[in-house]
Amino acid sequence: QMNANDCHDPPKYWTIHGLWPDRAEDCNRTWHFNVTEIKDLMSDMRHYWPDVLHSSLNRTQFWKHEWDKHGTCAATLEILNSQKKYFGKALELYKHVDLNSCLLKAGIKPSSSYYEMTAIKEALRRFYGVTPKIQCLPPEEGEKAQTIGQIEFCFTKELQLVNCTVPEDESNPMQAHLKLGTSELSVCHDNLPTYYPSEVQ
């Protein structure tokens, strides 16, 4: 939806946004992103963690941003203390969570009719044993339905799945940098009809 984006043929499956430590940003500005450190991961990175907004030749801008802002903070953990470990572990967690097939198995697939958010949450909770945080684009003017935009899973420092908790009085500051057009993702409302489109028009 962004005006000047380069989102040609967006993937028809859920991709990775990032692996974010809580309450930490830009932890080590001197530790610069170096794409050669993740050259072994490239085919997986391009497939599961694509940059759909920037058409730079090698499309590494998104990964650089995630490393600078979040990876350098995550690297305080030994299991994530290099670029190879950080990106490799994020890919591993993505495959372990396997959101694409779990949603399908739970009967949740892109549709032109609406879902109830509580039903989606319940299906995911049954599947994973934890409650993820589901984020939506709010209804556009004159519309009544929100649109699913992002599903966030929470992990312990040992990278075990855990419930995501959303304090009532704050939305997640970590999502503030993801703006789609003028709409911004925020935690979905339980009582709004919910649209899960195959692609955003």
pLDDT above 70 covers a percentage of the chain that reads 84
pLDDT of residue 58: 66
Beta bridge mates, 161: 155
Q: Is 158 a catalytic residue?
A: no
pLDDT of residue 129: 96
Please tell me which residue in 8, 17, 96, 143 is annotated as part of the active site: 17
Question: Are both 69 and 124 inside the same structural domain?
Answer: no
Please tell me which residue in 25, 32, 37, 66 is annotated as part of the active site: 66
Question: Are both 89 and 36 inside the same structural domain?
Answer: yes
pTM given for the model? 0.87
pLDDT tens profile 87-130: 999 999 999 999 999 999 999 999 999 999 999 999 999 999 99
Domain that holds residue 93: 1-97
Is residue 167 classed exposed, middle or buried when 0-12, 13-18 and 19+ CB atoms within 10 A define those classes? Answer: exposed
Residue 191: pLDDT above 90? yes
What is the tally of structural domains in the chain? 2
Q: Is 66 a catalytic residue?
A: yes
Q: Is 189 a catalytic residue?
A: no
Task: Give the span between the Cα atoms of 201 and 185, in whole angstroms.
Answer: 16
Q: What is the CATH number of the domain that holds 147?
A: 3.90.730.10
- Across the range 48-62, mean pLDDT stands at 79
Task: Give the span between the Cα atoms of 99 and 58, in whole angstroms.
Answer: 27
Distance of CA 69 to the CA centre of its chain: 15
Q: 166 falls in which pLDDT band (50, 70, 90)?
A: low
Q: Taking all residues of the chain, what is their mean pLDDT, rounded to a whole number? A: 87
Please tell me which residue in 70, 96, 170, 199 is annotated as part of the active site: 70
